Structure 1
């Protein structure tokens, strides 16, 4: 599956790739890793976001957000956000949430 290159570029600009943030093609999309842990990814025209357990309920209450499912099973710690709701302010919110969750993990 191809990923939305415009959305990927917006993510890249807002996350400011550095030694701490690295982009890598994975899962048929483009993921952005913080200290070696995936924080967010662009898959198709949607955003995949790592979410800390304490932030999950609030994240799923946001417009366009839903559980990330793999083969019909909910993947805990991940939320998918519909591309049509990702204006700059909303996108920044999700990127910060994903970055926070990834940064809380041990570096890889």
Structure 2
């Protein structure tokens, strides 16, 4: 059984997290927090995007655009405890394989949470 820092470091895809960090480099108000079995990236306390252990991401999207965004390739509804969470989507590994794909998803979530009051 793994414990401590080693266990935490294996809870998400390290390479993907590093790629997200690169997209967010130079941004202010960035924090990272272990959440939902992955690593979340928050802006002023609001979660924008998270990397999971399989190399997928979860992204905060405008609630009113969720259905439209679900029509994109490699995107599925975000489901937690058997319930679909509006305003969030799951993007599989193929949907973030290229740097420009990942950048677009991270920017979508990051720019959206910029409109929210700090927590």
TM-score by length of 2: 0.83
Q: Say whether residues 1:33 and 2:42 are aligned partners.
A: yes
Following superposition, the deviation at residue 4 of structure 1 comes to 0.7
Q: Which residue of 2 is the match for residue 5 of structure 1? A: 14
- Tell me, in whole angstroms, the C-alpha distance in 2 between the residues paired with 1:71 and 1:54: 22
Count of equivalent residues:
108
Point out which structure has higher relative CO (alpha carbons under 8 A, 6+ apart): 1
Give 1 or 2: higher strand fraction. 1
* 1:69 counterpart SS class: strand
Q: Report SS of the residue matched to 1:62.
A: coil
Q: Match for residue 79 of structure 1?
A: 89
Aligned to 2:118: 107
Q: Of 64, 67, 90, which residue of structure 1 is paired with 2:101?
A: 90
Structure 1 residue runs without a partner (length 5+)? none
TM-score, reference length from structure 1? 0.90
Q: Which structure has the greater CA radius of gyration?
A: 2
